[in-house]
Chain A
Amino acid sequence: MVGRLLANIMYFARTLRAAGLPIGPGKVLAAVEAVRAVGIGDRNDFYWTLHAVFVNRRDQRELFDQAFHIFWRNPELLEKMMALMLPAIRSNEPGEEMSRRLAEALHAGESGQQRPRETEIEVDAAMTFSERELLQKMDFEKMSNAELAEARAAIKRMVLPLADIPTRRFAPDPRGARTDMRATLRAQLRSGDLLTLKRRRRRRRPPPLVVLCDISGSMSRYSRTFLHFMHAVTNDRDRVYTFLFGTRLTNITRFLRYKDVDIALDKVASAVEDWSGGTRIGQCLADFNRRWSRRVLGQGAVVLLITDGLDRDAGAGIGQEMDRLHKSCRRLIWLNPLLRYEGFAPKSLGMRAILPHVDEFRPVHNLESLSELVKVLSRPGSRRLEAAAAWREAG
C-alpha cells in the first residue's frame, strides 16, 4: 500500500482516538488490513471499510462521519476547499454543528506536528461549534477522607428494599436443591465405589439499578450528597446506570466509574450543563423511555427516581411517561427529599402525576448526609399508598 495512505490511516485513527473513540493500535492494523482487502477504488467503500473497523457503537457514527469528511478530503484540493470548509459540513441539516470533542481533537492534532499536511487554518475555520445554552456549572467541594470512609461504610450497610434475583446459573452447594451430575461423576471416579450426590443451587445476584436524579434548582442543596451516593453505589456493584435530569437528560454512568470520587464528580460537573436550572420531568422521562429504557432496563432493573416532583411544565406529560417507565422496570422507587415547612401541602401537579405510578414512595426530610440517605433506602418498604397517606397526614 502507498506509504502516505498508510500513514494517513494512522493519523486518522489518532484523530478519532483523540476525539474519544476507543481505538488502540490493534484497530489501526485491522484497518490497514481491511483497506487492503477492499481496495481503495471507491470512496464510498473506503468510508464503510473504515467504518466497520473503527465504529463500535451507534452513537460513534456521527463523530466518525464528520471526522471522515474533514480528514479525507483530497489533500491536493485542500487549499481550494478552504472556502467550502466554512459552511456546515453537512449542509442538508442546518444547525448541525461539528462535535465539540472532534473539533478539539482535530485542533490538538494540528498544534503538534502530528499530520504531515498543514491544515491548521482550514480546521480553525471549521470550528463552528457554539455554546448551546448559557447554563450553570457546578463546583463541588472536595470530599474529605472522613467523608469517604463514612460513605464506604454507609454503602456497605445499604440494603436496597429488593431481594437479589435468582439467575439461571448454578453454584455448588451441599444443601442445594438440584444434583450436579457432572461433579458427581467426577467425584465418583476419584473416590471409588460410593456414589455421593453433589448438589448445587441457583446463584443470586442483585438486580441492575437505574438511578434517575433530579438536579434542578430546588434540589441543588442535595446534589453533592446524591452524586456521592451514586458514585459509591456505582463502584460497589456492577450494573448501575445513572442519569441526571433538569431540563435535559444526561447519562453520567461512565464518569462515575472513575474510582476517585473527586475526579468522577469533576467529570460529571463538566458534562452536565443544566445544574440548578428548571425541571422538565415529563420531557426528560420521555427522553429516557425512548432512548435508554430498552438498553438499561432489560434485565429486571430497579429504578430509583430521585426528585421532589416540582416541575416547570406543571406536570405536563408526566403521568403518561411514568406509566411507561413503571411498566418497563421491575420496581420503581421514588425518593423524595422535599423540605417540609409550616403549612406545606403536597399540591404540586408533578407530584400528583408521579405518585400513582410508583411501587414505593420514600419521603425524606432534612437530608444532610449520605448515611441518612442510605438509612432511608434500607428501611423495610411500606406500601406506596400507606406511605403517601402517612406523609400527607404528617405534612
Chain B
Amino acid sequence: MTSLPASVGDTLDLLRRGNYVGDRSLATAVYLSLTLNRPLFLEGEAGVGKTEIAKVLAETLGRRLIRLQCYEGLDVASAVYEWNYSRQMIEIRLAEAGAESRDTVEEEIFSDRFLIKRPLLQALEPELGAPPVLLIDELDRTDEPFEAYLLEVLSDFQITIPELGTIKAKEPPIVVITSNRTREIHDALKRRCFYFWVDYPAAERELEILRVKAPGAAEQLSREVVAFVQKLRATNDLFKLPGVAETIDWAHALTQLDVLALTPEAINDTLGVLLKYQDDIAKIQGSEAQRLLTQVKQELASVG
C-alpha cells in the first residue's frame, strides 16, 4: 500500500506511474477528492478515460478496486446486499426439526452468515489494510431512485440493514463516480462530489498518451494518427466523435497491419475502428478522408 499523495504534483506523478497521462487540472480534482474524502465525479464523452482513473488509483495506491456497474433498475439486492434465501429456508427446516424457539431462529437466519454482500456493502466493510477504491461506473444508466439512495450512502458512508443494524465504514473508501451524461445527474448528488469534466486531450497530450499506450506504433504513424483524429474532432459534423480509446485502438490496428504512415487506403480499411456510426463513416470515407489526410501531412511537414 502506498500512502496518499501530499500535493497536486505528487498526484500527477502517481497517475503517471500508473501509465495515465493526465492534465494538472485533473490531478487537482483527484488530489482534492483523496485528501478531503469526498467522491470524485467524472463526466465526459465515452472513451476519454474516466473509468481508467479509478483503476489506476487502485493500482498505484495498492488498494482493492470494487466496481459497481450501473444499469437501469439497479436495486438494493444487486448493489448493496441480499439475503441468501435458499440457505435461510434450509436453516428454518433444520430449526423446525430441532424445535428451537422462533426468536432464536429469526436471530440466526438474519445473521452475517446468510448475507450476500454486494459492491456498496463490500466497500464499507471493515477489512485488513486500507479502504478500497469504489468505482461507481456509468451512474447515468441507472434511474433516479438509486441515485437518491446513493446520496445517503455517500454522505455518511453507512448502510442500514433493517435486520442487522447500521454498518459504517471506519475509514471512507475512495469513491470515483463516472457518467457519460446520457441524462443529467441530480445536483444534490453532484454537490457532494468534486466535479471534473474529462475532455478530449489536446494534440500534444494525446501523442503522449499514444506513446505510453501504443508503444509499438511508429513515431511517424502516431503523429499522423493524432493529427487526423484531432482534425476529425474539429470538423464538428460527426454524430459521435472518436475518443482517446478509439485513437489507441486505431493505432494498434494500424500497427497490426504493418502500416508505418497513413495512406487513404489504410484509413478507409480501418475507419470502423475509429467511427462507430455508419452515417459518420460514410461522411468521412473516401474523398473527405483524403482531404483531411493531405492537410495533416502538410501541417506535419511544415512543423518539421
Enumerate chain A interface residues (CB-CB to B < 8 A). 22, 24, 26-27, 30, 33-34, 37-39, 42, 44-45, 47-49, 51-53, 55-58, 61, 167-169, 181-182, 185, 188-189, 192, 238, 286, 289-290, 294-296, 298-299, 320, 324
Please provide the 8 A-B residue pairs with the shortest distance between their CB atoms, ordered closest to farther.
A168-B73, A298-B182, A48-B28, A181-B85, A52-B194, A48-B25, A52-B29, A56-B190
Main secondary structure of the interface of A (DSSP, over half): helix
CB-CB contacts of B59-87 with A at 8 A, as 1s and 0s?
00000000000011111010000010100
Interface bin, chain B: 35 or more
Main secondary structure of the interface of B (DSSP, over half): helix
Which of B13-21, B31-39, B216-224 has 4 or more CB atoms under 8 Å from chain A?
A: B31-39
A299 touching B72 by the CB < 8 A rule? yes
Tell me how far the C-beta of B264 lies from the nearest C-beta in chain A, rounded to whole angstroms: 25
A38 touching B183 by the CB < 8 A rule? no
A169 with B75, Cβ < 8 A, contacts A45-B24, A185-B83 known: yes
Q: Is B102 an interface residue (CB 8 A)?
A: yes
**Chain A neighbourhood of B180, CB < 8 A:** 294
A169 with B181, Cβ < 8 A, contacts A37-B35, A49-B28, A324-B239 known: no
A58 touching B183 by the CB < 8 A rule? no
Choice from A33, A44, A45, A294 contacting B182 with Cβ under 8 Å: A294
Q: How far is the CA of A289 from the CA of B279 in the complex (A)?
A: 13
**Chain A neighbourhood of B31, CB < 8 A:** 37-38
B32 touching A37 by the CB < 8 A rule? yes
| Apart from the given pairs A56-B195, A185-B88, A296-B183, 13 other A-B contacts in the complex at a CB distance below 8 Å | A38-B28, A38-B31, A48-B29, A49-B32, A52-B32, A52-B194, A53-B194, A168-B74, A182-B83, A185-B109, A189-B102, A189-B106, A290-B239
Q: How many A-B residue pairs have CB under 8 A?
A: 107
- Among residues of A, the one whose C-beta sits closest to the C-beta of B8 is A45
B28 touching A52 by the CB < 8 A rule? yes
**Chain B neighbourhood of A168, CB < 8 A:** 71-75
**Chain B neighbourhood of A44, CB < 8 A:** 24-25
Tell me how far the C-beta of A60 lies from the nearest C-beta in chain B, rounded to whole angstroms: 9
Tell me how far the C-beta of B118 lies from the nearest C-beta in chain A, rounded to whole angstroms: 14
A33 with B183, Cβ < 8 A, contacts A51-B25, A289-B239 known: no
B183 touching A298 by the CB < 8 A rule? yes
A to B CB contacts below 8 Å, 5 in the list = A34-B32, A37-B31, A45-B28, A185-B85, A295-B183
